[in-house]
Structure 1
Amino acid sequence: MNKIHVFISILGLTLLNSTAFAASSNFSTGDDGWTAAGDASGPLTWNPGGYVSIDDQTIGGVTFFIAPTKFLGNQSAAFGTHLTFDLQQIYPGSPNQFEDGDVILQGAGLTLVFDTGYYPANGAWTSYAVPLIASEGWRVSSLNGSAASDEQLLAVLSDLSALKIRAEYQSGPDTGLLDNVALVPEPSTYGLMLIGLSAFAAMGWRRRNQG
């Protein structure tokens, strides 16, 4: 096996091992360590149907779902992919929605904020796929802050200390529900090609040694 084959094999294995950065919660057996902070804080209510929820206390703050430790740390492998999740809100009467940061990432001394552009449905699930690319709408510190750079987003993902998803959208009493959160890097086309080349190189080495 020559040096090129060794190099390709190492690259392929490295890309395969990048899934060690992946994190997900489908809440099939419990709250998976998620909590809430803001207007309502503390543990979440887990539903055996496979989701978590928090009731708004209507005292003026904004409630966020707070990700557990497994979503934090070095998540640089997720750069360029998506953070996906499902949200639902439940409230009585007519909608009275308000604007705020929908997803907040903190790390490396920075806070980055994202506006998803649409509210979760009342009484039905809404799916989100937040792009982990700065040019897609990430802002520094607040929604009115300067546009974030890819360098800043990568720095935050490399040392992620907090991941927050907004749980409260209604001015007045409401309940926020969360399900199917995933921060899962997917191999690029180039990465898949390297993995294929790695397998091809290994097959060639075996054939030469068997001949």
Structure 2
Amino acid sequence: MAMFSKLEKFAFYKWLLPIGVAGAMLTGCSEYNEQSLPWPYVNRFDVNDQGWRVNVIQPEVGSAPVHSKAGGNRDGYIYAFDQFTTFWYFIASQAFVTEARKSYNRTLRFDLKQLATDAPLDGNDILLTNGIDTLRYNTNHHPGTTWTSYSVRMNELSGWKKGSSPATKADIQTVLQNLTDLRIRGEYRTGADTCGLDNAMIY
């Protein structure tokens, strides 16, 4: 005796077909997402400064930031200090800059911490340049004495400026594609100051 009648077979395949199609679509979407979405590029500074520099000269380390194995937003971090009012910045490593060239419409994220928050000083918080044009971005709050996280989308909708004008899509893509320098501000206080950086990433 046949296990299924013709009617039962038809009902079975009618029920099975949508599931197979849905499964194939989900598998296709999963493969597409895995292949099309870039992995986050992260500098956690747990072991060393990972090639980052600062534009101030510090005793013993020169233009390198000081590396601490503990005290970061989990594990290690880098920091710098200076005794003057000149703006200073954390300067991204060449490897980080290379990754940032592919970062249009991705997100730049990092954590900052100050030693003191009195005598606040305003300025440009992030600088991107290709050696010809410079883009700048100002956050809406300064870092505190505990770790403060920042996330900035790398596109024309996020508030980037070129000179005094909003940066266009073409401006941002042109600078990013030929990026030579990425800087994150470390100077938020008038006079002597200390600021730390951790978890710089592009995702």
| Band the TM-score falls in, shorter-chain normalisation | 0.7 to 0.9
1:140 aligns with 2:162: yes
Deviations 1:172-191 (A, max 9, x none): 2110100000012xxxxxxx
Compute the TM-score of the two structures, normalised by the length of structure 1: 0.71
Partners of 2:124 and 2:57 lie apart in 1 by 14
Work out whether residues 128 and 175 of structure 2, in 8 Å CA contact, stay in contact via their aligned partners in 1.
yes
| Aligned residue identity for 2:189 | Q
Work out whether residues 56 and 63 of structure 2, in 8 Å CA contact, stay in contact via their aligned partners in 1.
no
* Alignment partner of 1:95 out of 118, 141, 157: 118
- Structure 1 or 2: larger helix share? 1
Instruction: Give the deviation of 1:109 after TM superposition.
Output: 2.0
Partners of 1:77 and 1:69 lie apart in 2 by 13
The 5-angstrom pairing of residues 151-166 of structure 1 reads: 151-166=170-185
* Alignment partner of 1:55 out of 54, 77, 81: 81
* Alignment partner of 1:29 out of 31, 47, 72: 47
1:116 aligns with 2:139: yes
Partners of 1:160 and 1:35 lie apart in 2 by 17
* Alignment partner of 1:65 out of 90, 106, 118: 90
| Aligned residue identity for 1:176 | C
Percent identical pairs in the alignment equals: 28
Work out whether residues 85 and 180 of structure 1, in 8 Å CA contact, stay in contact via their aligned partners in 2.
yes
Number of aligned positions between the proteins: 166
Work out whether residues 80 and 132 of structure 1, in 8 Å CA contact, stay in contact via their aligned partners in 2.
yes
Work out whether residues 67 and 78 of structure 2, in 8 Å CA contact, stay in contact via their aligned partners in 1.
yes
Work out whether residues 57 and 63 of structure 2, in 8 Å CA contact, stay in contact via their aligned partners in 1.
no
Work out whether residues 73 and 159 of structure 1, in 8 Å CA contact, stay in contact via their aligned partners in 2.
no
- Show structure 2 runs of 5+ residues with no match: 1-27, 71-75
Compute the TM-score of the two structures, normalised by the length of structure 2: 0.74
SS at match of 1:78: coil
Q: Which residue is equivalent to 2:148? A: 126
After the TM superposition, list the runs of 4 or more consecutive aligned residues in structure 1 that deviate by more than 4 angstroms.
12-15, 38-41
- Show structure 1 runs of 5+ residues with no match: 1-8, 185-211
| Aligned residue identity for 1:137 | G
RMSD: 2.3
Deviates further, 154-163 or 65-74: 65-74
Q: Which of the pair has more CA radius of gyration?
A: 2
